Structure 1
Amino acid sequence: MNLYEDKNRVFMQTIDRLSELESSFAIPHDRNVLLVSGEDARTFLHGQITVDVTHLENGQVRRTGHCDPKGKSWSVNLITPVDDALLITGHAVGVEASHAQFKKFGVFSKITLEDVTTAFAAYFIKGAEAESAVASVFGELPDTTMSAINTQAGLCIRLDLPDGGLLVLCKTDHLENLQQALSDQGITLYPPAVFEALQIQAGLPEISQPEHIGQFVPQMMNLQALNGIDFKKGCYMGQEVVARTRYLGRNKRAAYVFRVDQAISGIEHMQLEKQLGEHWRGGGTILKAATIGQESWILAVLSNDTTAEDTFRLNENPDAQLIQCDLPYRLEE
């Protein structure tokens, strides 16, 4: 049974496994939101991130990376035009890291950087009934994958998860209407960890730990397989390294998904070890992890010649069985 408590608080359901999700649901979660506006906004960002910003059309959404001069990623985010600005949204760790760099490199450009995180409430929406509730507040919904609509109620993006879903950035002055619409439809709410697990299951990377800033070339996180790198665009921060990684075959790592059929506290800070004969060696870095009920999910950066026959374990919980899951996309350079 769904439990909703007046206007001030909403109770959320818990589940043991992703397989227990209902067909229609909503997940409130945290997303940072940065607006970049001004006369030079597009040309400035075009010289900073991995996708072509100058030709980004209204209603179009892209995954993108932001790299340092050595091609290592500060962040992996979503970007889309909104009114006369460009909106960037993603995990707080990555967005804040990029915001700091934009301030530094944008000092001579005619741009305005505005952190508008507190102006929005973020929801992941899945299923026809939940989408109907959103439509009753927003007036319309985006039709195609990685497209967006911008209304008085906020921004709505149709994401590229295998089973679909919407990222809703609802303006706070419309939040009560959205919560009421979800309640009226009897939509189940799940906690943020469920959304994190769904993203991991879909192989979607983010920089969510401060120690991972500046550690990974975008291809190590599979960004090229998610249409997040335009290799033919003009110069941008770290482009030479990103290009060499592709054209000279220098990338030796990629991100892989694992499931563990138990809840493991602090799993995001552990390391993976790979079995080599009778011994174990350092095998990879956990990029993202989420635990829900009796299940943990891991997105880990490993050697890109990893196969389903390879065996891995957690360095701090070696008895936990790691089950490698198929990526829902092809790893292509």
Structure 2
Amino acid sequence: MNTWNQLLTQQGARGTEQAPQLFRDFGRTLTAAELADGFAAPLTDLGLIALNGEESASFLHNQLTNDVEHLGQDTARLAGYCTPKGRLLATFLVWRNADTIFLQLPRAIQPALQKRLQMFVLRAKTKLSDATESPANAVVLGVGGKQADAVLSTWFDALPAQAYGKLDHPMGTLIRVGDAFGAPRYQWLTSAETAAAVWPVLSAKLAVGGNDAWQLSSIHAGVPLVVAATQEQFVPQMVNFELLGGVNFKKGCYPGQEIVARSQYLGKLKRRTTLVTIPDAQAAAGMEVFATADPEQPCGMIVNAAPNGQGGVDALVEMKLDAIERASVRVGSAEGIALQFLPMPYVLDPLDL
């Protein structure tokens, strides 16, 4: 166990029996209200792929749903990686510095995704490597809520003004991601030494959570994350990915591009992802949901779910638009526990609803 993990464990960080170093929380689940006020969370379930070489950007540009060739060093963006049938294998947060392009994704699916990408490098001048535990990015801290800016200003003279802005700083890389609860959220990638130095201030001024807290904030930001249970289940638009800027329809080809474009331009989209709360702690990504008006077949699937501190979970659920309109949907079967629909943080396509 490294010194940083020891520090967190001494302060009550808890993982699971199978993965004790993937810290879910610090003894209790934070609520949405606490996240909205301000929180800090070590993120231990994310992996990082690094690409180096003069053709890294063009290689990724031909593999992902978003434009990588014109990605600047002061921005980050979402991007998807699809099968030839247009189904998402992964969703990434992508950014770069002068020498390296980084792809962030769930640690659990990183090895297989990295291996798959490597298969298509062929003669491209790029090299993929696992940067998850590289010294400069060894720790990822999630910080958000209305108090976040004031606390981060302890170390940063300026903060990214918009979502998906990025800055490089002597104390690490700071990326503003999608806002939640009307307040900014940031990922701070830094060394274990810097993390240990700043953690006493963060933990004194903000509510302290772990992976669960960050996932709950992402759910309330409406930002989907493809995990092992949901790989190859969704075309990007099903999880609102193009609404979040994760798909560029003007770039060249990539695996699944024809199907993704067809879904966009030929006919009305029939499925979207929406925000719900479920009074069932066992509800999880990959579980099917059923509309009471059509009980014989599932109308959708849970994309992401996280404990909400009230005995259940809040979740992003992909489903048919008519099921969203009727708002009578249950988990597991038409007789299961009912989903309670919550307002989305952004507008679904007004032509859809």
Report the TM-score range of the alignment, normalised by the length of the smaller protein.
0.7 to 0.9
Task: Using the aligned pairs only, state the percent identity.
Answer: 26
- Does structure 1 conserve the Cα–Cα contact (< 8 Å) formed by 2:288 and 2:331? yes
AA aligned opposite 2:199:
Q
Alignment match, 1:180: 200
Alignment match, 1:229: 247
- Give the secondary structure class of the aligned counterpart of 2:205: coil
Specify which of 95, 98, 101 is matched with residue 116 of structure 2. 101
**Is 2:216 the counterpart of 1:202?**
no
Alignment match, 1:219: 237
Q: Distance in 1 between matches of 2:38 and 2:300?
A: 35
**Is 2:38 the counterpart of 1:24?**
yes
Q: Which runs of 5+ in 2 are unaligned?
A: 1-5, 13-25
| TM score, norm. by length of structure 1 | 0.88
1:1-333 alignment runs, 5 A limit = 9-11=10-12, 12=26, 14-15=28-29, 17-21=31-35, 23-29=37-43, 30-119=45-134, 120-127=138-145, 129-137=147-155, 140-162=158-180, 163=182, 164-183=184-203, 185-208=204-227, 210-249=228-267, 251-260=269-278, 262-276=279-293, 279=295, 281-293=297-309, 294-315=311-332, 318=335, 320-332=337-349
Q: Deviations over 1:189-236 (max 9, x none)?
A: 12321221221122211111x242222111111101101111011122
AA aligned opposite 1:203:
G
Shifted more, 267-276 versus 216-225: the winner is 267-276
- Does structure 1 conserve the Cα–Cα contact (< 8 Å) formed by 2:291 and 2:323? no
Q: Distance in 1 between matches of 2:232 and 2:59?
A: 21
CA displacement at 1:7 relative to structure 2: 7.2
Q: Which runs of 5+ in 1 are unaligned?
A: none
* Residues 129, 302 of structure 1: alpha-carbon distance in 2 compared, 3 angstrom cutoff: closer
| TM score, norm. by length of structure 2 | 0.83
AA aligned opposite 1:196:
Q
AA aligned opposite 1:146:
Y
Shifted more, 266-275 versus 227-236: the winner is 266-275
Q: Distance in 2 between matches of 1:290 and 1:257?
A: 12
- Does structure 2 conserve the Cα–Cα contact (< 8 Å) formed by 1:14 and 1:191? no
- Give the secondary structure class of the aligned counterpart of 1:75: strand
* Residues 250, 70 of structure 1: alpha-carbon distance in 2 compared, 3 angstrom cutoff: farther
CA displacement at 1:94 relative to structure 2: 4.7
Q: Distance in 1 between matches of 2:267 and 2:111?
A: 31
- Give the secondary structure class of the aligned counterpart of 2:285: helix
Shifted more, 68-77 versus 185-194: the winner is 185-194
AA aligned opposite 1:331:
L
Q: Distance in 2 between matches of 1:95 and 1:304?
A: 32
Q: Distance in 2 between matches of 1:248 and 1:175?
A: 49
* Residues 307, 108 of structure 1: alpha-carbon distance in 2 compared, 3 angstrom cutoff: same
Q: Deviations over 1:302-328 (max 9, x none)?
A: 113433433011126945331112222
Q: Distance in 2 between matches of 1:121 and 1:225?
A: 30
Could you say which structure has the higher strand fraction?
1
Q: Deviations over 1:223-259 (max 9, x none)?
A: 0110111101112222111111111127432212210
Q: Distance in 1 between matches of 2:276 and 2:187?
A: 24
* Residues 139, 96 of structure 1: alpha-carbon distance in 2 compared, 3 angstrom cutoff: farther
- Does structure 2 conserve the Cα–Cα contact (< 8 Å) formed by 1:66 and 1:98? no
* Residues 41, 27 of structure 1: alpha-carbon distance in 2 compared, 3 angstrom cutoff: same
Aligned length: 325
AA aligned opposite 2:141:
Y
